[in-house]
Chains A and B, each alone.
Chain A
Amino acid sequence: MRYAETGFNLEIDLTRGNVERVETDPRDTELYLGGLGTNAKILWDRVPPEVEPFSPDNLLIFSAGLLCGTPATGCNRTIVSTVSPQTHLMAFSMMGGFWAPELKYAGYDKVILRGKSPNLVYLWIHNDKVEIRDATHLKGKGAVETAELIRQELNEPRAQVAAIGLAGENRVYFASIEQGRSSASRLGLGAVMGDKGVKAIVVRGTKDVNVARPAEFLALCNEVLQYIKFRNENPIPGVMPILAGLGSPQEMKVHDEKWHTENFMWGNSRVRRKDFWNDEIARQWAETLDSMRTRLISCYNCPMTCGATISPPGLPTYMMKCFSKLTYTMAAFSDLEFGLGIAQSATEYGVDGFSAPQVMAFALELYENGILTDEDFPGMPADNEGRFYWLLDRIVRREGIGDVLADGTYWASKRIGKGAEAYAHNNIKKHEQLPLKLSMLNPIYFLMYATGEKLNITQIEGQFPQAPWRTREEREEFAKDWFQVPDEKFKQYLVDWEPRGEKSMPFYPTVEMCCDIVDWQERMHYIDDALGMCAGLSSFPLKPPYHLHNYPKFISAGAGIDMDTDTLTQAARRYRTLVRAYNIRRGMRRKDDKPPENHWKKRFPELEKELLDTYYKFKGWNDQGIPTRESLSELGLDYVVEDFEKRGIYSETEDDSSSETPAEDEKI
């Protein structure tokens, strides 16, 4: 019997309309756990680097995490993996909500889509019955609207629906997949779903998910719940409110936005408004949030209320989470009322709340600077807010300039030319980043930005405080009950860390310490992505309830795979390295591992080189960031070595490796 997982994947060939239920190899679970880990293995095996994102041979994999569907609190995430149309690298965004547990109850761990449907369809998975159904009547419908219509049409109010909106149908490179109160937004997964002709995947399951050692597993769950209660009652002192507690940043609760509005950049990640927040704005924004927010809500089996239902006047209700609260507001130099209103359209269209506002601000900046002209914007309103609504409509329909902008700032700037490239200034590996521009290099964040292959800082940071407390006493106080550390040395790193002086940034934490810290932070995220755990209870906050010491017990008691901290770490390293190898095979090299040029004003090129050199070595990668034969072999990834050798990846000269990657050669 398989525990925690179901042991079956659904393989769906959309071209031929074929559906198969395929048993998986339990050995793969031991090696790659599940979720992202086993997704990466499938992509490595079946999607070679020659396959274009919009080829029928590209796969789009929806995976429940290994522990989804068990009673483990907060374990509800779906990991969606494919080749990104924007970066041409592996995309692996995730979503919370209710979909992944439902898939498990229907009897499957993954849904693997290949081929392309000739007509728009949706998939209806109801336990053993799987249908490919016509969706032409849903063409052009909003993502939230689609979910409601399908539930009515099937008369299944309990079905969970993951759907795309117009943006996905039109293959916008930053189209999202919307579901429950969550979405898989980054890197254009919705565009690949639209390219495959799939409007939605609908799931209803009423079967059991088993755990291997029930009493032990439940005791672990209860410990986690108790610790969540403890942390809710004991926020971390001396840090800003969104870092003090558990969960995703509690943006739906917080009224005081002084920190975000004065420290993050406005417009096309350009303008810092240091004296923005005042009493009048605080009053207005509080009124807006209180009048539109109907209720604070959660994902499946989680007590953290990180989301909310929002009802803007005259518009349908939608569900929002986290920082999309402010991204539209700040990109348009507007107010919260505008932000919460346009996010309703954006959610129905299904676009990423980071990229979409930035792309629109980028377009307007090009317009202000004469690179785009009135001819590019026929009929655009004169007011800023009207312009954002107008642009959003053009983009999701790929009309006129919208067709260019729909590819994101990197590809749009190439197509526009005339110096537009300089305005696509906030990307890593062609992907739009959070609008942050800071003064002095932070060595920990440098490594995370440079090497994080999820291409989103929130998906690699966490665990370690972002800055040292002012006094040693405060730091010692924090370290006292910090049992989540993988090793006692991390406590010392923190205690010795000073805001100023000899032991301060950028030279302290030392290069070696930075490697340890980044590796720990990244490892936690990778484990979460395999287990299906929400980062908000694990990798993201300080002192989370899930950590490297109880995770192995959860896997042992839940999935029946005996594990300790070392074997878990080894498994996480294995599929993390496989993700790297996959991207290396698609042309990614050292030159791509860099934060935006202007992310910090004060840079330290020699230190940055040393950081990257040391971190690569620490990770078992060579100076081009390619995993070495030895490190691959140690992880049991000899098939990667073989493939690299066949492709001549190890015999590249410096010259070759600095040439353009295949992704760059792409005709645009």
Chain B
Amino acid sequence: MGEKKKKIVKTIKVDADKCNGCRACEVICSAFHATPRYSSNNPARSRIRLIREPLRDIYLPVYAGEYTPAECAGRDKYVIEGKEYEECAFCRASCPSRDVFKEPDSGLPLKCDMCESDPDLEKPLCVQWCLVDALTYEEREEEVEEETELEELEIGLEALADKFGLDKMMDTVARMSLSKKE
């Protein structure tokens, strides 16, 4: 556990009532996170997902959060203003019980990084591309406990280790590095 420290927290306020369901947020998110940047586009890689059911008037943009190796017990339902939501709908986790917030090919977990880049963007791109103002960017000062952030590679490796076991993964890495040398 780190010590308490004041920190600027980047947040996005989601006003679901303003959402027009266009998914521009998914479009620009996946383009920004492509390598090289903007070289491809694929909403299935987006770190924001719009749950969109127009006939039930459900529009819910959700951001990808932490990876979790295990399913939770959450199977409850919420009714808000007459509209029924799965508990899962609001969850940010990349978890084994569903296929959102995972790379479609490798299955590696995705997580919103607020479009971290150098130099910093003024606002995350999903906010910039949301012309109907369903998404707005807010910075808040919060007291937080410092923690070492996991690097992207580490998050990925952790997911693989959970899936295949650490031993098997180390074996594979060893074999791969051997075959590269040959």
Contacting pair A301 B44 (CB below 8 A):
no
> Smallest Cβ distance from A284 to chain B, in angstroms?
24
Instruction: Report Cα–Cα, A311/B41, bound state, in Å.
Output: 34
Task: Give the CA-CA distance A98 to B41 in the complex, in Å.
Answer: 15
A303 with B23, Cβ < 8 A, contacts A209-B41, A211-B40 known: no
A255-313 CB contacts (< 8 Å) to partner B:
294-303, 305, 309
State whether A211 and B41 are in contact (beta carbons under 8 Å apart), knowing that A157-B53, A228-B131 are contacts in the complex: yes
Q: Are B36 and A298 in contact (CB under 8 A)?
A: no
**With a CB–CB cut-off of 8 A, which chain B residues contact A295?**
20, 54, 57, 59
Binds B, one of A212-220, A493-501, A603-611: A212-220
- A residues near B55, Cβ cutoff 8 Å: 144, 148, 309, 316-318
Name B22's contact: one of A144, A302, A309, A316 (CB within 8 Å).
Answer: A302
Q: Which residues of B contact A148 (CB under 8 A)?
A: 55
Shortest distance between the CB of B33 and any CB in chain A (Å): 11
Separation of A114 and B118 alpha carbons in the complex (Å): 52
Interface residues of B, count at CB 8 A: 30
Is A303 within 8 A of B54, CB to CB? no
| Mask of A210-232 contacts with B, CB within 8 angstroms, 1/0 | 11001101100000010011001
Does A319 make an interface contact (CB < 8 A)?
A: yes
Size bin of chain A's contact surface:
35 or more
Nearest-neighbour CB distance to chain B for A151, whole angstroms, equals 10
**A312 CB, nearest partner CB in chain B, Å:** 13
Stretch of B24-32, B66-74, B143-151, B159-167 at the chain-chain interface:
B24-32
Beta-carbon contact of B21 and A297 below 8 Å: yes
* Residues A156-205 near B (CB distance < 8 A): 157, 181, 205
Shortest C-beta distance, B46 to chain A (Å), equals 11
If the complex has contacts A148-B55, A206-B44, A210-B40, are A301 and B34 also in contact, measured as CB distance less than 8 A?
no
B27 contacts which chain A residues (CB < 8 A)? Answer: 71, 301
B132 at the interface (CB under 8 A from A): yes
* CA gap between A225 and B43 in the complex, in Å: 19
Check: B38 CB closer than 8 A to any chain A CB.
yes
A577 adjacent to chain B (CB < 8 Å): no
Given contacts A69-B41, A217-B38, contact A301 B20 (CB under 8 A): no
Contact B36 A214 (CB under 8 A): yes
CA distance A69 to B55 in the complex (A): 24
B22 and A71 form a contact (CB under 8 A): no
B24 touches A302 (CB 8 A): yes
Smallest CB–CB gap between B166 and chain A, Å? 29
Q: Which of B38, B41, B42, B54 has the most CB of A within 10 A?
A: B41
Which residues in window 72-93 of B have CB below 8 A to A? none
A207 to B30, CA, bound (A): 11
Cβ–Cβ < 8 Å partners of B38 in chain A: 71, 211, 214-215, 217-218
Query: Which 7 residue pairs spanning A and B have beta carbons closest together?
Result: A303-B131, A206-B44, A214-B38, A206-B104, A208-B40, A298-B22, A298-B20
- Measured CB to CB, the residues of B under 8 A from A are 20-24, 27-28, 31, 34, 36-45, 53-57, 59, 104, 129-132
Known: A71-B38, A217-B38, A301-B23. 17 other contacts (CB 8 A): A181-B54, A208-B34, A208-B45, A209-B40, A209-B42, A210-B41, A214-B38, A214-B39, A215-B37, A228-B131, A295-B20, A295-B54, A297-B21, A298-B20, A298-B21, A300-B23, A309-B54
27 A-B residue pairs with CB within 8 Å: A70-B41, A71-B27, A71-B41, A73-B24, A105-B43, A206-B44, A210-B39, A210-B41, A211-B41, A214-B34, A215-B37, A215-B38, A218-B31, A218-B38, A228-B131, A229-B131, A294-B57, A295-B20, A298-B132, A300-B22, A301-B24, A302-B24, A303-B20, A309-B55, A317-B54, A317-B55, A318-B55
